[in-house]
Amino acid sequence: MSGPDPAVVIGGGVVGLSAAYQLAEAGVRTVLLERDELGSGASRATADVVRTYFPGSPVSSAMAVRSLAAYRSFAERAGAPVPLRRVGYLVLFGEEEQVAACEADLPAQRAAGVEVELIGADEARRRNPLLGDVPLVAAAWAPDAYVSDTAAIVGGLAEAARRAGAELRTGCPVKAVDIGAGRVDTGDGPLTAHAVVCAAGAWSAPLARSAGVELPLGEPVEQELLACGPPPSGAPMPDIPMTLHAPSGLLVRRRGDGLLVGMGYPGADRDGWRARVRERLAEVYPAVAGAEVRTAFTGVRDASPDRTEFIGRLPGAIPFLYAAGFSGHGLCTAPAAGELVRDLYFGRATGIDAARLAASPERV
């Protein structure tokens, strides 16, 4: 183990747990601090989907491709199987400009290892027969999208981190970081660290700022996912892919005999947002018009300005590393994020263009 003082990881969601696991497995004495319970932040409000295609962000796609491979091999490396049921990811375009942007993005996506193609409107409707008569000119189809189990992933990462030697402390909020002194101030008193990793999700910005890193995350944002009941007609729910209606941001996947639904963030007018979601659902998927729609999950998320994660290292005698701003996509990229934090800690090649993930004025 490394030195008398540990590397301290702040945050017990999938990203923090992944970083703690990777560091501990590499022989680094590691302590993880979580303000609540493991997986109680953004990891609590997830669609349970692991996918590789992130339109307009090939670097996130590269992270997701690497992460999917890690999930598939996690059982062999850590003894914790990850459930993966393939459903595919369909992105619907209602305007020619959206199609042109997709076409321009395809070469970089494929270079990142993503299997994705542009398909016609008829093919899109065959893949999602629940679609109503909404304007549709084309769609992107990416088969590598899987329904998983976030709770199982959190539990598996936690167990793997513990077996590797990491200490996981819950109910231990971090108040500030003094990176010059190598001190982390917690509700249980100060903790001395030889390195600090900030993976605190929505609470990352002020902690990073106290260490001298400006992460433009804004205030924590509450995410809400809704459960939509089965079609009122009694017809069975077709086995549709995870589908994003790009013009509105409406995202659905099948869940039981109904749908799991998301559409941006509720904001202050939660009732108004829910009404807008119901209206959009009825427009895009008329078969579920009038179905019961209720809250499924809520959680607090961190959102970056460009919807791409911030991962980097602040040089100094006491290294400060950060992994935040995942914008609700942490489940898809957590394994690669943990590996990247580990590699940045050791100062070795990452295999991914880490400079594009670092916090910089160009990212604001």
| Domain boundaries of the chain, sorted by first residue | 7-78+150-217+305-357, 89-143+222-301
Identify the pLDDT of residue 24: 97
- pLDDT the model gives residue 2: 42
C-alpha–C-alpha distance, residues 59 and 351, integer Å: 11
Residues of the chain with pLDDT under 50: 1-3
Q: Which CATH class is domain 7-78+150-217+305-357?
A: alpha beta
> Which two tokens mark 299?
């959680």
Q: Which token pair is 221?
A: 């944002």
Could you tell me which CATH number the domain at 89-143+222-301 has? 3.30.9.10
Please give the pLDDT value at position 80: 60
pLDDT of residue 301: 80
Phi first, then psi: give them for residue 210, nearest 5 degrees.
Answer: -65, -20
Same-fold call for 7-78+150-217+305-357 versus 89-143+222-301: no
Indicate the pTM of the whole model: 0.93
Determine the pLDDT at residue 1: 40
Half-sphere exposure of residue 98, counting CA atoms within 13 Å on the CB side?
19
> Which residue has 């696991």 as its token pair?
21
Name the residue among 230, 206, 364, 199 with its Cα closest to residue 293.
230
